[in-house]
Amino acid sequence: MHTSLLQRWLRHPWTLGVIGVSTVLVLWWLISSTGLVDKLFLPSPQAVLQAGQVQWSSGLLVKDAAASIQRVFIGFAMSAGLALPIGIAMGTNPVVCRLLEPLMGLIRYMPAPAFIPLLIIYFGLEELPKVLLIFIGTFFFNTLMIMDAVKFVPHELVETARTLGGRGLPILIRVVAPFIAPQVLDTYRINMASAWNLVIVAELVAATEGLGKRISLAQRFLRTDEIFLGLIVIGLIGLLIDLGFRFLMRRSCAWAN
Amino acid sequence: MHLQVSSVCKTFGHGAKAKLVLDRVSFDLHAGEFLALVGSSGSGKSTVMRLIAGLDRPSAGTITIDGQPVRGPGSDRGMVFQKYSLYPWLTAAQNVAFGMELQRRPRLEIRERTAYFLEVVGLADAARKLPRELSGGMQQRIAIARALAAEPRVLLLDEPFGALDIQIRESMQEFLHQLWRQTGLTALLITHDLEEALLLANRVHIMAPNPGRIVRSVDVDLDRSNMAHLRVSPGFLELREELAQSLRGLEPALSR
Ligand SMILES: Nc1ncnc2c1ncn2[C@@H]1O[C@H](COP(=O)(O)OP(=O)(O)OP(=O)(O)O)[C@@H](O)[C@H]1O
Ligand SMILES: [Mg+2]
């Protein structure tokens, strides 16, 4: 009786994940409370929590998070919105594919952060270079992954539609689009992680606000508790976005699960 | 309806890699007939069907329907593939309605015809199910219903039961025969199963590979009122054995 309850509890999809996270939290708390490690290197959970409370009540935390999220959102929306038609065009039209694939394959391997100096020279220190960095860092991956999804649409599905009287655009809308929808969402979910990485990198280099900026300021004043806070907040927001995409996918593409 | 395939050749590839896959294939199909093409793998059966469907172009020869040359795919030639052809995100009913929606028929008509053809294939109860919730046989019946609902003048079936196990296959053969009798459809069936061809078709063309060509044609005039009976009747078995012999004769290397 007891074991079956335990087993059922263990089998819950979240149980083990929660155990993993809380183990790390408890270890962190234990180690920092023994005082074996210098506070400068390992702030206690309480200190981090307190830093969070301070930043929350001063409104700094919300302002930073909003600034970072906005940059990610604009840059990624541009990237996702442009990658969709171009990826589909490359996946359906061999000429477009042969024209663009080598170019994109090349640029894809140029590390996006290496574009930062260039972007600063071109566009200064305002919002535009940060947004563009996110765009550069995700657009080529988005496009090539969408192209692949399109190429894997079974041709029976397209040919059936053609023998039913369908052509061009209706087939694109009614066959290709629904078939690739789950992969497109998954592509966005995966590349969103890099967008989130890049915004922090951009802010570390130059910004007046943002979660990355807060971390680099904290470093200047040796405030490791604030660095920890920044990292945790960044991780949590990323996780939330990821879960959001998963939720969207489960909702809109139930057939694919 | 008169489908005419005359001296059709098909070559794939260019130059040194060119491969003749169909060599002067000719046959006719008239309204209400059930024709089968039988042949081993690689004899070009699917290629013939794709040419008729307009999904590919012949290298030589002509394909006409009522005198009009085939220029591309169209809803007058419905096609059923061996597998993977239902739209996995659409329910059975939505799959059946799909072709009619592409044809922009009135909504009411689509709904009525969808219900009717689901009934015809015996799957009215499965209307709201997704393809993955249906067995292989049910999926093929939906695919057939979808093709029929678009009102083709000829139904092209490329090994529609090839992926099904033997029992379901037999019941599907029965189903297809009843469907043909009920609806008076015109059908071209591709199969590598001689028994299937003889059970269902009025006329059977036997194809041989390298290059793909028709080597023998037989009219099949059997009493099909009881299929289970027919499968084991002496006349049927004799015809089947005789044709099987000639098929084997075509491929000495493969015969046992
Ligand atoms: N697009 C293509 N490009 C090159 N060769 C092709 C193409 N399609 C078919 N072939 C070749 O044509 C020949 C006939 O193929 P086809 O698919 O028509 O045979 P089949 O009789 O339908 O065989 P199966 O019973 O295996 O389905 C094969 O040798 C195949 O390799
Ligand atoms: Mg074939």
pLDDT along chain A (257 residues), means of 10: 76 86 92 87 91 92 93 96 96 94 92 91 90 95 96 93 91 94 94 92 86 90 92 93 92 84
Q: Where are the alpha helices (DSSP H) in A93-209?
A: 94-108, 116-123, 127-151, 155-163, 168-171, 177-205
Supply the pLDDT for residue B252.
55
Report whether residue B186 contacts ligand 1, using a CB cutoff of 6 Å. no
A16: left (phi over 0), alpha (psi -120 to 50) or beta: alpha
Cα(B45) to centroid(ligand 1), Å: 8
Round to whole Å and give the CA distance between B29 and B32.
9
> Which pLDDT score is estimated for A39?
85
Kindly state the average pLDDT of the residues B119-142: 91
Nearest residue CA, atom 28 of ligand 1? B42
Interhelix angle A177-205/A224-252, nearest 10 degrees: 170
CB pairs under 8 A between A and B: 70
Chain A hits for B113, CB-CB cut-off 8 Å, are none
* DSSP 8-state class, residue B212: B
B256 confidence band (pLDDT: 50, 70, 90): very low
Distance in Å, CA B145 to ligand 2 centroid: 21
pLDDT score for B206: 93
Average pLDDT over residues B105-131: 93
Which of ligand 1's atoms lies nearest the C-alpha of B10? 12
Opening angle at CA A131, ends A125 and A135, nearest 5: 135
Q: Is the CB of B191 under 6 A from ligand 1?
A: no
What is the value of pTM for the model shown? 0.85
Contacts of B102 in chain A (CB under 8 A): 161, 164-166, 170, 174
Q: Report pLDDT for A2.
A: 63
B1-76+189-256, what's its fold?
Answer: Rossmann fold (3.40.50)
Q: What's the whole-number mean pLDDT along residues B29-38?
A: 94
pLDDT tens-place string over residues B195-253? 999 999 999 999 988 899 999 899 988 888 888 898 999 989 999 998 988 888 776 55
**Domains of chain A, each with CATH number or no CATH:** 47-256 (1.10.3720.10)
Which ligand sits closest to the CA of B40?
1
CB contact under 8 A, B73 and A256: no
pLDDT at B110 over 90: yes
d(CA A249, CA B235): 58
Q: Kindly give the interhelix angle for B166-183 and B136-149, rounded to the nearest 10 degrees.
A: 20
At B166 the pLDDT is: 87
Which segment of A33-42, B41-50, B181-190 scores lowest on mean pLDDT? Answer: A33-42
Residue B156 Cα, gap to closest chain A Cα (Å): 10
Q: Which chain B residues are closer than 8 Å to A253 by Cβ? A: 89
- CA distances from residue A248 to A70, A172, A192, B117, B133 in whole angstroms, order as listed: 20, 22, 14, 34, 22
* Placement of tokens 């005359």 in the chain: B6
Q: Which of B84, B87, B102 lies closest to A170 in CB terms?
A: B102
B246 or B188, greater pLDDT? B188
Question: Looking at chain A, which residue has its C-alpha nearest residue B100?
Answer: A164
What whole-number distance in Å separates Cα of residue B139 and Cα of residue B100?
A: 18
Instruction: Answer whether B189 contacts ligand 1 (Cβ < 6 A).
Output: no
Of the residues A158, A163, A167, the best mutation for testing chain B's interface (the one with the most B CB atoms within 10 Å of its CB) is A163
Is the pLDDT confidence value at B26 over 60? yes
**Please, which residues bridge with residue B212 across strands?**
B22
For chain A, the residue count is: 257
Mean pLDDT of the B83-109 span: 93
Mean pLDDT of B65-91: 91
Which residue from B minimizes the CA distance to A157? B85
CB atoms within 10 A of CB A181: 17
Q: Phi and psi dihedrals of B121, rounded to 5?
A: -90, 5
Q: Among all residues of chain A, which has the CA nearest to that of B87?
A: A157
Give yes or no for B163 touching A (CB within 8 A): no
Q: Which atom of ligand 1 is nearest to the CA of B13?
A: 4
Cβ contact A209:A62 at 8 Å: no
What is the token pair recorded at B222?
A: 């059997």
CA-closest residue to ligand 1 atom 12: B21
Shortest CA distance to A185 belongs to which of A256, A122, A112, A127? Answer: A256
Residues in chain B: 256
Spell out where B50-103 has E strands.
60-65, 68-69, 77-80
Question: Is the shortest distance between the CB of B49 and ligand 1 below 6 Å?
Answer: no
pLDDT at B255 over 50: no
Residue B139 has pLDDT above 60, yes or no: yes
Residue of chain B minimizing CA distance to A175: B87
Does ipTM surpass 0.95 in this model? no
Instruction: Answer whether B17 touches A (CB < 8 Å).
Output: no
- CA B255, B169, B135: angle at the middle one, nearest 5? 130
